[in-house]
Chain A
Amino acid sequence: MTRHVFPATWEQAGHAALDGDAVVVGGATSVQPWLTSTGAQPSVLVHLRDVAGARSVDGMAGRLRIGAMVPVADPALRPVFGGTEPVWFATPAVRRRATVVGNAVSPFGPREVVPVLAACGARLVVLAEGGTRSIDVTAVPPNGLEPGAVACAAELAVPERIAFRRVALRPRLSRTEIGVAAALGDGCGAAISVGVGGPTLVVEGAAEFLRDPAGSPGFAAACCSAAPDPVRQLVGGLAVRVHRALHEPGGRS
């Protein structure tokens, strides 16, 4: 029968996660539907809810450290989402529980927060058997972190401005088919996502075009060159809109 453990420290969480086929539990918004629909019986569920510091958002010198239990709806994360709650993500009840870090590492997908995090240069702090390491948020394999690994936090730059535009069936409760996110600020840049649950690709060389109010064509070209052929035109169109949003007076979203 599946046991439940509630570690109080990251060290305990790391030990617990090494136990058999342990499954780490953040907000559980993907874990519980998976358990219910598949009847999976992992040996142990490692609940992060009581780990010291897991719920905190710490800001220092223009950077944020987001603990593993911080939900998408946390008001402290508004600067990352252009000053508002990201209503394009899930439902209000899910946003209040789904964690940013869980989204970035989930093997269940679709990891829709990742393009926004990547535009802020986000990295994940991962605790595993070999010690603690920092990895780019876009570098998590599709099937998640390796067994036994626990992501303790995400670290990213607080953007001066950020914009995210996406192609989806509807503005809400629809998956991102194609997304372009870009941010202005130290350590910021741009990223695109292609396909529902597809990879997020960092756009190289975007920063110089992003700063320049006349840099829209250059930015669109940089985004297009990162995109696969069939969707280049769509990505280019979104990139122009993102660039415009970054330079609109008062534009933050």
Chain B
Amino acid sequence: MTAPDVRAATCTVDGRPITLPQTGTESLWDVLEDHGVALPLGCASGHCGSCTVLLDGVPVPSCLVPHAEARGRSVATVATAADDALVAAMAEHGAVQCGFCSPGIVVTLSWLLRTTAAVGQPITADDVRNALTGHLCRCTGYTAVVQAAVSAASKISAASKAADR
């Protein structure tokens, strides 16, 4: 006897409901692609971070997630998970070159900013470097990315302090 699968095979992607397959071994990345959601795919094994999305609000490489694990959950790609202040700071600091790694990095660092700077916690360059572990960038050497995130964090903290006053 096996347990019945009573769950509807659906999730939301950037707020839009989508139907997931009932069977099969594809990853969430594969299914997103089938639905026209194009994300970079580097290693397909969780090492490079390029395919990172938010699953129920938490960053994860979509290539590591069996599609069925997304049932009943919300998926946010860079299209809705990006923090505007971070994107602007990355452009300003030259933190995007070929751009292959950028969607994943933006998802993770936007999450970091939302869960720290936006609630008044300071962010150091080390915090950013730590968050970038598991994101490979072959072009920038990371320095500009770290500077951009720290700069965005200070703008976000200043804005949130001003709003609290």
Contacts and interface: CB of A to CB of B under 8 A. Distances in A.
B44 A1 contact: no
A93 B2 contact: no
B42 to A, nearest CB: 13
Given A32-B64, A37-B44, A49-B69, A15 B133 contact: no
Interface stretch (A2-10, A151-159, A161-169): A2-10
A45 B66 contact: yes
Interface residues of B, number: 34
Interface string B43-81: 011110100100000111101111011010000000000
A93 B130 CA distance: 11
Interface in A1-45: 1-8, 12-13, 15-16, 19, 25, 28-29, 31-33, 35-37, 39-42, 44-45
B3 A5 contact: yes
Contacts of B7: 6
A222 to B, nearest CB: 35
B69 A28 contact: yes
Interface in A215-245: none
Given A6-B5, A91-B134, A94-B134, A45 B68 contact: yes
A16 B3 contact: yes
Given A87-B130, A91-B134, A16 B2 contact: yes
A29 B1 CA distance: 27
B24 interface: yes
Contact of B46 (A5, A13, A42, A94): A94
Contacts of B64: 28-29, 32-33, 93-94, 97
Interface in B120-165: 130-131, 133-134
Contact of A15 (B2, B25, B44, B108): B2
B134 A92 contact: yes
Given A2-B25, A15-B1, A37-B44, A28 B65 contact: yes
B44 A36 contact: yes
B69 A47 contact: yes
A224 B133 CA distance: 34
Contacts of A92: 130-131, 133-134
A32 B27 contact: yes
Given A29-B46, A41-B25, A172 B133 contact: yes
A47 B68 contact: yes
B60 A93 contact: yes
B133 A173 contact: yes
A16 B2 CA distance: 4
Contact of B69 (A5, A25, A37, A93): A25
B134 A36 contact: no
B108 to A, nearest CB: 7
Contacts of A44: 2
Interface string A102-138: 0000000000000000000000000000000000000
A219 B75 CA distance: 50
A78 interface: no
Contacts of A5: 2-5
A40 to B, nearest CB: 7
B150 to A, nearest CB: 18
A8 B68 contact: no
Contacts of B25: 2, 35-36, 39-42, 45
**Smallest CB-CB A-B distances: 8 pairs:** A91-B134, A1-B23, A12-B3, A4-B68, A7-B3, A35-B25, A33-B45, A16-B2
Interface of A: 1-8, 12-13, 15-16, 19, 25, 28-29, 31-33, 35-37, 39-42, 44-45, 47, 49, 87, 90-94, 96-97, 172-173
Given A37-B44, A87-B133, 9 more contacts: A2-B24, A5-B2, A6-B71, A13-B3, A28-B66, A32-B65, A90-B134, A91-B46, A91-B134
